[in-house]
Chains A and B, each alone.
Chain A
Amino acid sequence: MRMRRIGAAAVLALVFVAACDGLPGKPKESDRPLSPWQVKSFTVLFSGNCAGCHGAGGRFGAAYELANPTFQALVDDAALTGIVSQGMAGTAMPPFAHKYGGFLTDAQIGILVDGMRRRWRVGAAPPNAPPLAGGGGDPARGAQVFARSCAPCHGADGEGSPKAPGSIVDPSYLTLVSDDAIRTLIVAGRTDLGHPDWRGYPPGQPLSAQQVADVVAWMAAKRPRFVPGSYARNP
């Protein structure tokens, strides 16, 4: 009689202990607190460090659409690593590598670059695409490219139209944006906000590398040396 009772208690205790693995309070391996530099998940790294500017999932952010497949097809790992590590001087893109004052390790930057490629690159680079890097354009020829390819949306002088509101030659805007960012936008476009890429100005007449360089040079030439503050402008 007594033995049976003890046996029952032991079985109950065993069931309890076994069930403990399934108890909701048991900490899961994923709850383990990590130092910021131990984080290895792309999703966590991207949403913690990049989503604020580049948008959740790399789209619809205030800064460039990193999930754009054309961009991911054209850019290479080294360029991405360089940009993420060192930031883009003179713009709001901050450096992330420890040695440039950021908070990410080189391994974490590797995970970010690798993750972006894996997720967002679809297919190989399209043939005849203009490179993302480059220079040496001619502003005067750029003005012609602009008139043909861009003015339909941005207005004759770049001051905007209902299709693309706001000026792309605003002195403050041009001061804040880099030539590289302008070139990326022209070549790879933004699928989220409806910007055409190099094949679409208008469709069927792709821009050549030289034409891209020229139109970037045209915009760069409009960048002012000095922007007066609005708070100094009121007399």
Chain B
Amino acid sequence: MSLRQIARDVGAWLDHRLGLSGPIIEAAEHPVPRSSASWWYVFGSAAFAVMVLQFITGLCLATVYAPSADRAWQSLLYLNYDQPLGWFIRAMHGWGSNFMIGLVCIHMAQVFLFGAYKYPRELTWVAGVVLLLATLGMAFTGQVLRFDQDAYWGLGIGAAIAGRTPFIGGRVVKMILGGPIIAGETLSRFFTLHVFVIPGLLIAFVGLHLFLVLRLGINEWPMPGRLVKRDTYLAQYHELVSKDGEPFFPFAAQKDLVFIGLIIAALVVTAAVMGPIGPNGEPDPAIIETVPRPDFFFLWLFSVFALLPPWTETFLMLTGPVAAIGLLFLVPFISGTGEKSYRRRPVSVMILVLSFMTIGILIYLGTYSPWSPHMEAWSSVPTPVDYVSGRTPLELQGAVLIQAKQCRNCHALGGQGGMRGPALDRTATRLTPDQIVRQIVQGGGNMPAYGRNLTPAEVNAIVAFLATMHPAHQPPARLAARPQRPEQTDASP
């Protein structure tokens, strides 16, 4: 008996008892509108495929990962450096997560543009929003499991948001972190979430989502002018698929399969070339000179919190996410009928483009986070050589003090250094020495006041140096019409 014959017999034996082949074939061959077998409709199935891949690579990782605070980080290093191909599985899982988020977002954008969430597919959309949240939840908890310095960011900000809930804030934080601070219990909780709770949710809602897709049929290609009405739509759709339908398999599925293949190939290449994501430095509270930063899908939140004026934070942290998620859920109920084609829905298209642009810009800002001081600049970024040669002894002392007093962590010279404050290369064209003194002594505009932390000699040296910060062809700033004002500061003796 050949192998193929054995397989066929086993299959028949099982089917005789389970009786599943009928429904499966029926589902596979359910008719879909000819117009929907388009390359636009492949993102959902690709997201699904990547999710399955995530389950597989995740399973592999879970066999090695140690969810305890003192060993988690070490076990990732073991995977990266000692376990053969461990790095590759980590890379597949880490990049797979990014791919999945990307695909889910594109899929949602396509559904939104094509009006596919309209009657009768509202519940499909709602299940989809739950899937988006679950995917982001997986990404977030996964980042925490990495338990490196960046993981602290995610947790810190999560705890900060939760902690501001009125009345129950403290308890919520304790529930998330398993205590008032980030510790071993925190990791156990996130491990449970990442490995049991959210995957369970994902499976359940993917099931519901697919069931609804099969039951209600795949959305037809939107035609401008063909309006969705509650009482006629179902009959119209039925007529469409019976007249101009094709079986899902293989007619539409072949594009899905090709795209899935491409995506997986892209994922393998990305993983092989880019390698695993982190872990970066050990999460040690004793290491203070780091600026933890979230993975890219939360970078935009990082930017929002960094850029917002502090007084808006509590309000926005509490209402922002609730409002945004609520709006997403409500989309099909706000515009559940009517025009489907994006050509006739300019407002929807604008909303989509604006949201993507905003998030894109925030992510870009987050990657380069000009608002975070560059904590090591003072001791590691030299004064540009041009600013050293030909300077007087006092000016050189000023240049040293710009380093020693960590001004460089916020201020760039010659394009290097922090970017929290303006670059100082042309300061003398904007400020007179007196104004520089005032800025240093009194601070202001997000710069700390150095008044009591600098001796008069130090101020003199810094000002002497900064007064040279103008291009040779551009004279330093002078007070034009005003007389020297006798403005005294707190710091003056």
User: Are A229 and B491 closer than 8 Å at their CB atoms?
Assistant: yes
A105 CB within 8 Å of chain B = no
CB within 8 A of B379: which of A36, A52, A176, A227? A52
- Of the A-B pairs whose beta carbons lie under 8 Å apart in the complex, a sample of 14, sorted by A's number, is A25-B87, A25-B276, A32-B80, A36-B289, A50-B379, A56-B382, A60-B385, A166-B392, A168-B393, A172-B394, A176-B457, A176-B458, A227-B457, A234-B484
Q: Which secondary structure characterizes the binding site on chain B?
A: helix
Residue of A nearest to B434 (CB): A234
Contacts of B381 in A (CB 8 A): 51-52
Count of CB-CB pairs between chains A and B under 8 Å: 181
Q: 8 other contacts beyond A60-B389, A234-B434, with CB at 8 A cut-off?
A: A24-B272, A27-B276, A32-B81, A92-B397, A92-B403, A167-B393, A229-B493, A230-B460
A135 CB within 8 Å of chain B = no
User: Are A55 and B388 closer than 8 Å at their CB atoms?
Assistant: yes
Query: What's the minimum C-beta distance from A11 to chain B, rounded to whole angstroms?
Result: 17
A1 CB within 8 Å of chain B = no
**Given A49-B379, A56-B382, A230 and B437 touching (CB < 8 A)?**
yes
Interface residues of B in 242-267 (CB under 8 A from A): none
Interface residues of A in 38-83 (CB under 8 A from B): 47-56, 60-63
Cα A227 to Cα B458 with chains together (Å): 10
Contacts of B284 in A (CB 8 A): 35
Per-position 1/0 for B334-360, Cβ under 8 A of A: 000000000000000000000000000
User: Are B148 and A33 closer than 8 Å at their CB atoms?
Assistant: yes
Query: What's the minimum C-beta distance from B144 to chain A, rounded to whole angstroms?
Result: 17
User: Are A55 and B382 closer than 8 Å at their CB atoms?
Assistant: yes
B400 CB within 8 Å of chain A = yes
CB within 8 A of B404: which of A94, A166, A228, A231? A94
Contacts of A231 in B (CB 8 A): 434, 437-438, 441, 456, 459, 489, 491-492
B11 CB within 8 Å of chain A = no
User: Are A24 and B441 closer than 8 Å at their CB atoms?
Assistant: no
User: Are B272 and A25 closer than 8 Å at their CB atoms?
Assistant: yes
Cα A173 to Cα B461 with chains together (Å): 7
CB within 8 A of A35: which of B287, B390, B433, B463? B287
Query: What's the minimum C-beta distance from B415 to chain A, rounded to whole angstroms?
Result: 15
Contacts of A51 in B (CB 8 A): 379-382
Interface residues of B in 440-493 (CB under 8 A from A): 441, 455-461, 463-464, 484, 486, 488-489, 491-493
Contacts of A165 in B (CB 8 A): 390-392
B273 CB within 8 Å of chain A = yes
Cα A171 to Cα B461 with chains together (Å): 10
B317 CB within 8 Å of chain A = no
Interface residues of A in 204-234 (CB under 8 A from B): 227-232, 234
Interface residues of A in 6-52 (CB under 8 A from B): 17, 20, 23-27, 29, 32-36, 47-52
User: Are B392 and A160 closer than 8 Å at their CB atoms?
Assistant: yes
B194 CB within 8 Å of chain A = no
Cα A48 to Cα B434 with chains together (Å): 34
Cα A38 to Cα B81 with chains together (Å): 18
Interface residue total, chain A, C-beta cutoff 8 A: 51
Interface residues of B in 386-435 (CB under 8 A from A): 387-397, 399-404, 408, 433-434
Contacts of B403 in A (CB 8 A): 52-53, 62, 92
User: Are A17 and B492 closer than 8 Å at their CB atoms?
Assistant: no
Query: What's the minimum C-beta distance from B93 to chain A, rounded to whole angstroms?
Result: 13
User: Are B460 and A227 closer than 8 Å at their CB atoms?
Assistant: yes
Interface residue total, chain B, C-beta cutoff 8 A: 70
Query: What's the minimum C-beta distance from A163 to chain B, rounded to whole angstroms?
Result: 11
Cα A25 to Cα B275 with chains together (Å): 4
**Given A60-B385, A62-B400, A232 and B393 touching (CB < 8 A)?**
no
Cα A54 to Cα B463 with chains together (Å): 20
Per-position 1/0 for B69-100, Cβ under 8 A of A: 00000000100110011011001000000000
Residue of B nearest to A193 (CB): B389
User: Are B397 and A33 closer than 8 Å at their CB atoms?
Assistant: no
CB within 8 A of A25: which of B91, B148, B379? B91
User: Are B457 and A175 closer than 8 Å at their CB atoms?
Assistant: yes
A170 CB within 8 Å of chain B = yes
User: Are A229 and B460 closer than 8 Å at their CB atoms?
Assistant: yes
A177 CB within 8 Å of chain B = yes
8 tightest CB-CB pairs across the interface, nearest first? A166-B392, A25-B275, A229-B456, A62-B399, A92-B404, A175-B457, A172-B460, A172-B457
Interface residues of B in 37-66 (CB under 8 A from A): none
A235 CB within 8 Å of chain B = yes
User: Are A234 and B486 closer than 8 Å at their CB atoms?
Assistant: yes
Cα A173 to Cα B396 with chains together (Å): 9
Residue of B nearest to A61 (CB): B382
Cα A166 to Cα B389 with chains together (Å): 12
Contacts of B399 in A (CB 8 A): 62
Query: What's the minimum C-beta distance from B370 to chain A, rounded to whole angstroms?
Result: 20
Cα A166 to Cα B397 with chains together (Å): 12
Contacts of A48 in B (CB 8 A): 376, 379-380
Interface residues of B in 268-294 (CB under 8 A from A): 271-276, 279-282, 284, 287, 289
Contacts of A33 in B (CB 8 A): 77, 148, 279-282
Interface residues of A in 147-177 (CB under 8 A from B): 160, 165-168, 170-173, 175-177
B383 CB within 8 Å of chain A = yes
Query: What's the minimum C-beta distance from B68 to chain A, rounded to whole angstroms?
Result: 19
Query: What's the minimum C-beta distance from B481 to chain A, rounded to whole angstroms?
Result: 18
**Given A25-B276, A36-B289, A49-B380, A17 and B394 touching (CB < 8 A)?**
no
Residue of B nearest to A19 (CB): B272
B378 CB within 8 Å of chain A = yes
Query: What's the minimum C-beta distance from A17 to chain B, rounded to whole angstroms?
Result: 7
